[in-house]
Amino acid sequence: MSLIRPFAGLRPAAECAEAVVAPPYDVLNSSEAREQAAGKPWSFLHVSKAEIDLPEDTDPFDASVYAKSAENFNRMLAENVLIQDEAPCYYAYRLKMGDHVQTGIAAAASVDAYDAGRIKKHEFTRPVKEDDRVRQVDALSAQTGPVFLVYRANAVVDGILADVANRTPDMDVTADSGVQHTLWVIRDADKIAAISAAFEAMDALYVADGHHRSAAASRVAAARKAANAGHTGDETYNYFLSVIFPHDQMYILDYNRVIRDLNGLDANRLVARIGESFDIEMADEPVHPQRANSFGMYLDGSWYALTIRDELIPQDDPVARLDVSLLANNLIEPLLGISDPRRDPRIDFVGGIRGLSELEKRVDSGEMAVAFSMFATSMDDLMAVADSGEVMPPKSTWFEPKLADGVVSHLLD
């Protein structure tokens, strides 16, 4: 079974694209989605966040939500708001946020390759979120939220995508966020064959974002295979919707930490204890770390620059040497008493897209006692962890810009 293959995508009709394309389902809460979709009957949020069309107290995981999602999806099909390409294609997908541009390929990725570890993951998943994606896919019999994958930059693939992107696009939409989403359909048989061959020669792909979607795709495929006496392996349920970018075009932001209390310490005692493992200096302005192994701390209205001592960095362990691990293992756990950041309500995480002012706001309000700013995890670090078969600590990476929902979907058998 091939690592990726083309598919007959379901896309917005040209005149409907701007009305359809929406933020991904997992970056908005229900009230934010309801507000964004107001007056936009074809917004894909009516599919991805269908609770917005039900009473406001509706549980987002209630069966009625999945039924409403399918109803809205089928209405978009019936009204030709969404149309399916006649033959399997690849799709060049470009994201532009300010000066940053990245161009990848939308493709159907192999569930078998994912199950075998050739499509590598680096995070644990939560059963409740997996269950949600399984129920959504089963209700629609379609995958509408792409998994964000990464490949090691490849001259053949990158060259084809650059050539395709010189054409007039099939879709070009600028979202409310200011991110430009541009799509080109790749129908040329020679280009399709060259792309498939180039990916087949790759050792691995890496899940950047979408661990719950890929895990759900594996579960859906297993269930449909078990229920299909005539299973051949060629069915569309054996593949999952993905957009795959070269590793050297990724833009990863910091993922910062805020802590609710000082674990019984006062500010002066905390600073003194930190000084046992870190070089620490007061700063005149907010600290946005510019290199690995350095951190910012906002405490009692003041910023500090922290640098962990070299002897505490385990160079031979791809997980333990991550900045998020160094901060957790040498400060957050031993000093602030948080050993399970996945479950401990005393810690929260703030994506770097919100800026350092958000850290100050959370602490100055009294909601949190201390904040830590991070240096962004690199793609090389992420791939090293995935290659080792390990997982990263929670909230290690924040990718921008985000893929949109509704750009292209994958229908299942």
**How sure is the predictor about 83, in pLDDT bands with cuts at 50, 70 and 90?**
very high
Domain boundaries, the chain: 4-251+404-411, 255-375
pLDDT in tens, 222-252: 999 999 999 999 999 999 999 999 999 999 9
Summary mean pLDDT of the chain: 96
Q: What DSSP string runs through 186-252?
A: E--HHHHHHHHHHHHT-S-EEEEE-HHHHHHHHHHHHHHHHH-TT--S-SGGGEEEEEEEEGGG--E
pLDDT score at 97 = 96
Tell which wins on pLDDT, 343 or 229: 229
pLDDT score at 28 = 87
Distance CA 170, CA 306 (A): 49
Question: Which top CATH class is 255-375?
Answer: alpha beta
pLDDT in tens, 370-383: 999 999 999 999 99
Neighbours of 1 (CB within 10 A): 12
Q: What is the mean pLDDT of residues 205-217?
A: 95
Q: Which of 117-126, 190-199, 241-250, 269-278 has the lowest mean pLDDT?
A: 117-126
- Residue 72's identity, in one-letter code, is N
pLDDT score at 100 = 96
pLDDT for residue 302 is more than 90: yes
Cut 0.85: pTM above it: yes
Q: Please, which residues have CB within 8 angstroms of residue 92's CB and are 6 or more apart in sequence?
A: 103, 104, 105, 106, 161, 164, 165, 183, 184, 186
- Contact (CB, 8 A) for 1 and 238: yes
pLDDT in tens, 260-294: 999 999 999 999 999 999 999 999 999 999 999 99
Q: Given CA atoms 338, 342, 343, 346 in this order, what sign does their dihedral have?
A: positive
**How sure is the predictor about 26, in pLDDT bands with cuts at 50, 70 and 90?**
confident
**Chain-centre distance for alpha carbon 277:** 33
pLDDT for residue 1 is more than 80: no
